[in-house]
């Protein structure tokens, strides 16, 4: 049985290393484009993750190796009896200080990234000046409110605000900020491809900024178990050129103030038939 | 610590206890409460007719004459696997179904050539990968290579599968609005079986257009638990809508049939008729019912389905849609003021329900109202909708527009009213300009200081 345990404890570090090595090939790693984040901040966050992964991997593999060695020695050496000791002061100090130093290093090392992501003072100025939309999480959808073209987003709804649901368009080439709210329970604004995640809390308006490094359509999901329809709470964030974004807003304005007469852009579900019929 | 036997039992019981909360949703089309209140001899033919014409969730049926995209697909028999003596199914290799929906089990298959021409079989098994189907062996059919057939209801089945995945847990298997999660929702999910939808672009008496329902599925209904399903493709949304309308037509057909029978053959009425006061004998009633079923019921059924079908068809005609005669009156303070006066006037009586300030607290919310269906007073004060739910008039200051926030949406709410609710249609009494003034006033309320 003794050797069996040696193998058992040997198996886990080997399995961990193998699965980590295989992860990119079998699609177990980070989402989006060969595990590369779709935002520069996301790439830095991934860097942090890899650093922590490497540190923990070394510690895990190291401690397992020592454990397997000790077991193996114990199994093969029937003559030497184990002795009971009351601890080793020096050893205690070593295995407290080393992890402490590692944690302190990580804490200091990640501060810049954390600040850029979360501390308002470090937000990109262009994003803070002009939040593009208010995002309201609601069981079980995402509702968006844009300011009218040429105007700034106000905390309270304005008569000419533009509204949509489950489809957030943002311009490419500059950092953008949204004001996040929740209508009912806790939700979480999660853009896996951009590595952006922020809880939405009822009664609070929380600014979130992000900048995609590629145009495209990204999933927006809820990362807080918010009720039975939680899994359905999916939307798209569409990152497009400034020109396309402006066209989108124009189109949205036309649709929103549509009075049932005349032509409007024909990409909205039922206005197509209405527009053509006049 | 020793892990005692009693704890082991507790541990084993735990999964069992947690399972008790998992109820299976209803997996059959249900019949309405009124149908079940008929005497069995009257309820039976109604139920049979519905099963014959609409099938059940596992075996949908194509019923000609409904404005539904059933989705027929043509196929040809390639080879027939030799059936063994005991086997009850005939397995066929077919072609032509590759582009059809990949789940065809339970659908009707009509033979269009060969010995079984005109016969209908049910697909008992379908393997999309190998292109084999299995149908029940009967004396009437004898498929041979080269025989052709139609698989019916593929589109309906596609809609049904999507509906069951996305809608059923609130709206219920037959669209009766009592899915497993419905009890937690307020307002409750819509019962589709009356065929009435609140937010439409059509005239007051018309049903909803397909596009209206598609819009509701895509945009959701703000302020309710109906979420947006914008990430579904247009094709999926259209398939769901097609199925929902079909469910509505089923429910409406049932209602029309039952309404015909209810006043004479409900359990309550029959009990009255056979009581001492009524003086009729049960056999007489049975005889009368039998005669009705033989002579009039087929006509009633045909009339019920065709009138339901016609109504849905008409709603999708171009002239059913409400189009304002004039463009929106510019949203000026003067227009809003005219709207405000109209709002408070006796001509519209908006304030009676929505309150003088538009807070949804008009005097009508304090009255006991009469249920138009039963002619009895509701037990609680305030307005009710046709589904029997208490319905507070909208607080117009909240800026939540359930039927859409475009000016045309608000215009249509006023022009046609909100179907199934006490919100009346003002399309006749008010001119286009007056309606637009009201729209301007109402849409300004969320931003006013009052």
Ramachandran area for residue B195 (φ above 0: left; ψ -120 to 50: alpha; else beta): left
Report CB contact under 8 Å: B446, A157: yes
Distances (CA, A) of B422 to A149, A204, B46, B187: 38, 37, 31, 16
> What pLDDT, on a 0 to 100 scale, did the predictor assign at position A275?
39
pLDDT band at residue A265 using 50, 70 and 90 as cut-offs? very low
Please, are residues B320 and A257 in contact by the beta-carbon 8 Å criterion?
A: no
> What pLDDT, on a 0 to 100 scale, did the predictor assign at position B142?
86
Task: Name the closest residue on chain B to residue A268, using Cα atoms.
Answer: B215
How is chain B split into domains, by residue range?
Answer: 73-151, 158-319, 333-447
Distant-in-sequence, close-in-space partners of B31: CB < 8 Å, separation ≥ 6: B43, B46, B47, B50, B254
**Span A12-32, mean pLDDT?**
85
Please, are residues B171 and B89 in contact by the beta-carbon 8 Å criterion?
A: no
pLDDT digits (tens, 9 = 90+) for B258-307: 999 999 999 999 999 998 888 888 899 999 999 999 999 999 999 999 99
CA distance B54 to B68: 12
CB pairs under 8 A between A and B: 81
pLDDT digits (tens, 9 = 90+) for B155-208: 999 999 999 999 999 999 999 999 988 998 989 999 999 999 999 999 999 999
pLDDT band at residue A36 using 50, 70 and 90 as cut-offs? confident
Report CB contact under 8 Å: A270, B327: no
DSSP string, B34-60: HHHTB-HHHHHHHHHHHHHHHEETTEE
Domain B333-447 superfamily per CATH: Cytochrome c-like domain (1.10.760.10)
Report CB contact under 8 Å: B406, A166: no
Question: Does the pLDDT at position B1 exceed 60?
Answer: no
Task: Name the closest residue on chain A to residue B435, using Cα atoms.
Answer: A259
Report CB contact under 8 Å: A278, B323: yes
Please, are residues A242 and A173 in contact by the beta-carbon 8 Å criterion?
A: yes
Distances (CA, A) of B36 to A133, B30, B46, B267: 52, 10, 10, 9
Please, are residues B410 and B311 in contact by the beta-carbon 8 Å criterion?
A: no
Mean pLDDT of chain B: 91
Q: Among residues of chain B, what percentage have pLDDT more than 70?
A: 96
> What pLDDT, on a 0 to 100 scale, did the predictor assign at position A26?
83
Residue B127, SS3 per DSSP? strand
Report CB contact under 8 Å: B231, A228: no
Contacts with B, A 185-244, CB within 8 Å = 228-229, 232-236
Using CB atoms, which residue from A141, A228, A261 is nearest to B181?
A: A228
Report CB contact under 8 Å: B228, A141: yes
ipTM associated with this complex:
0.85
**Span B89-99, mean pLDDT?**
89
> What pLDDT, on a 0 to 100 scale, did the predictor assign at position B18?
65
Q: How many CB atoms within 10 Å of residue B6?
A: 8
Q: Is B398 on the interface with A (CB under 8 A)?
A: no
Distance of CA B155 to the CA centre of its chain: 17
Report CB contact under 8 Å: A139, B322: no
pLDDT digits (tens, 9 = 90+) for A114-133: 999 989 899 999 999 999 99
pLDDT digits (tens, 9 = 90+) for A62-105: 999 999 998 888 888 878 777 888 889 999 999 999 999 999 99
User: In whole angstroms, how large is the CA radius of gyration of chain B?
Assistant: 27
Distant-in-sequence, close-in-space partners of B396: CB < 8 Å, separation ≥ 6: B354, B358, B359, B360, B442, B445, B446
**Closest approach of A141 to chain B, Cα-based (Å):** 6
Q: Is B258 on the interface with A (CB under 8 A)?
A: no
Please, are residues B73 and B93 in contact by the beta-carbon 8 Å criterion?
A: no
Please, are residues A142 and A136 in contact by the beta-carbon 8 Å criterion?
A: yes
pLDDT band at residue A1 using 50, 70 and 90 as cut-offs? low
pLDDT band at residue B21 using 50, 70 and 90 as cut-offs? low
Question: Does the pLDDT at position A268 exceed 80?
Answer: no
Question: Does the pLDDT at position B22 exceed 90?
Answer: no
Distant-in-sequence, close-in-space partners of A54: CB < 8 Å, separation ≥ 6: none
Please, are residues B185 and B225 in contact by the beta-carbon 8 Å criterion?
A: yes
pLDDT digits (tens, 9 = 90+) for A206-237: 999 999 999 999 999 999 999 888 998 999 99
Distance of CA A17 to the CA centre of its chain: 25
Name the least confident of A8-12, B241-245, B336-340: A8-12
**Span A181-207, mean pLDDT?**
95
Question: Does the pLDDT at position A149 exceed 80?
Answer: yes
The CATH architecture one would assign to domain B73-151 is Beta Barrel (2.40)
Alpha-helical runs (H) found in B84-193:
154-166, 168-171
Q: Is B406 on the interface with A (CB under 8 A)?
A: yes
Using CB atoms, which residue from A163, A166, A273 is nearest to B231?
A: A166
> What pLDDT, on a 0 to 100 scale, did the predictor assign at position B123?
92
Question: Does the pLDDT at position A269 exceed 70?
Answer: no
Report CB contact under 8 Å: A228, B447: no
Please, are residues B140 and B104 in contact by the beta-carbon 8 Å criterion?
A: no
Beta partners for residue B89, in sequence order: B136
- Cα angle vertex A84, ends A78, A88, to 5°? 120
CA distance B111 to B150: 6
Calculated CA dihedral for residues B256, B260, B264, B267, nearest 10 degrees: -20
Mean pLDDT of chain A: 89
Report CB contact under 8 Å: B222, A166: no
Residue B231, SS3 per DSSP? coil
> What pLDDT, on a 0 to 100 scale, did the predictor assign at position B2?
55
**Span B57-79, mean pLDDT?**
91
Question: Does the pLDDT at position A271 exceed 70?
Answer: no
Question: Does the pLDDT at position A276 exceed 60?
Answer: no
> What pLDDT, on a 0 to 100 scale, did the predictor assign at position A77?
80
Q: How many CB atoms within 10 Å of residue A183?
A: 15
CA distance A237 to A216: 8
- Cα angle vertex B6, ends B3, B11, to 5°? 75
Closest by CA to A178, choosing from A244, A131, A143, is A131
């Amino acid at each position: 049985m003794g050797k069996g345990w040696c193998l058992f404890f040997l198996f886990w570090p080997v399995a961990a290393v193998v699965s980590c090595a295989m992860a990119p090939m079998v699609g177990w790693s980070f989402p989006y484009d060969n595990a590369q984040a779709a935002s520069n901040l996301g790439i830095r966050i991934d860097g942090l993750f890899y650093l922590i992964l490497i540190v923990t991997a070394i510690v895990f593999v190291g401690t397992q190796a020592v454990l397997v060695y000790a077991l193996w020695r114990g199994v093969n050496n029937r003559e030497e009896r184990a002795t009971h000791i009351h601890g080793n002061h020096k050893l205690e100090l070593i295995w407290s200080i080393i992890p402490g130093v590692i944690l302190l290093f990580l804490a200091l090392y990640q501060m810049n990234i954390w600040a850029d992501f979360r501390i308002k003072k470090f937000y990109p100025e262009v994003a803070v000046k002009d939040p593009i939309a208010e995002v309201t999480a609601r069981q079980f959808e995402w509702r968006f409110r844009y300011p009218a073209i040429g105007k700034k987003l106000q905390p309270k709804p304005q008569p000419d605000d533009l509204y949509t649901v489950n489809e957030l368009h943002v311009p490419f080439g500059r950092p953008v900020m949204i004001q996040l709210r929740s209508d009912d329970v806790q939700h979480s604004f999660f853009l896996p491809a951009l590595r952006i995640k922020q809880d939405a809390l009822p009664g609070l308006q929380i600014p979130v900024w992000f900048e995609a490094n590629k145009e495209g359509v990204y999933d927006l999901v809820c990362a807080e178990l918010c009720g039975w329809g939680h899994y359905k709470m999916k939307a798209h964030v569409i990152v497009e050129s400034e020109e396309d974004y402006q066209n989108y807003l124009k189109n949205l304005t036309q649709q929103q103030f549509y009075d049932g007469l005349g032509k409007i852009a024909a990409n909205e579900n039922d206005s197509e038939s209405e527009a053509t019929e006049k | 610590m020793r892990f005692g036997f009693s704890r082991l039992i507790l541990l084993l019981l735990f999964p069992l206890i947690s399972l008790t909360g998992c109820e299976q949703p209803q997996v059959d089309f249900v019949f309405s409460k009124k149908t079940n209140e008929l005497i069995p001899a009257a309820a039976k033919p109604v139920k049979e007719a519905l099963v014959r014409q609409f099938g059940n969730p596992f075996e949908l049926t194509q019923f000609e004459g409904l404005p539904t995209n059933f989705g027929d697909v043509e196929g040809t028999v390639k080879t027939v696997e030799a059936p063994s003596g005991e086997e009850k199914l005939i397995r066929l290799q077919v072609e032509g179904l590759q582009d059809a929906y990949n789940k065809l089990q339970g659908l009707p298959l009509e033979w269009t050539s060969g010995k079984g021409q005109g016969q209908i079989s049910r697909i008992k098994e379908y393997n999309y990968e190998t292109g084999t189907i299995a149908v029940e062996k009967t004396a009437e059919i004898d498929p041979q290579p080269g025989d052709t057939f139609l698989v019916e209801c593929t589109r309906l089945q596609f809609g049904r599968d999507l509906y069951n995945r996305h809608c059923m847990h609130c709206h219920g298997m037959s669209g009766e609005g009592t899915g497993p999660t419905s009890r937690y929702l307020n307002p409750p999910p819509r019962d589709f079986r009356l065929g009435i939808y609140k937010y439409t672009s059509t005239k007051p008496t018309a049903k909803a257009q397909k596009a209206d329902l598609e819009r509701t599925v895509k945009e959701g209904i703000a302020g309710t638990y109906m979420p947006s399903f914008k990430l579904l493709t247009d094709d999926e949304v259209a398939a769901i809508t097609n199925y929902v309308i079909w469910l509505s037509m089923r429910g409406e057909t049932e209602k029309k049939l039952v309404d015909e029978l209810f006043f004479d053959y409900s359990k309550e009425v029959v009990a009255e008729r056979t009581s001492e006061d009524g003086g009729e004998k049960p056999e007489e009633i049975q005889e009368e019912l039998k005669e009705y079923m033989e002579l009039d019921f087929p006509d009633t059924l045909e009339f019920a389905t065709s009138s339901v079908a016609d109504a849905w068809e008409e709603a999708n005609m171009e002239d059913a849609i409400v189009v304002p005669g004039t463009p929106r009156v510019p949203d000026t303070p003067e227009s809003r003021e005219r709207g405000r006066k109209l709002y408070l006037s006796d001509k519209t009586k908006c304030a009676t329900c929505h309150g003088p300030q538009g807070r949804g607290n008009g005097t009508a919310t304090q009255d006991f109202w009469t249920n138009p269906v039963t002619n009895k007073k509701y037990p609680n004060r305030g307005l009710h909708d046709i589904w029997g739910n208490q319905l507070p008039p909208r607080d117009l200051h909240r800026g939540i527009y359930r039927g859409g926030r475009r000016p045309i949406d608000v215009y249509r709410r006023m022009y046609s009213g909100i179907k199934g609710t006490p919100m009346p249609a003002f399309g006749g009494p008010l001119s286009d300009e007056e309606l637009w003034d009201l729209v301007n006033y109402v849409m300004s309320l969320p931003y006013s200081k009052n």
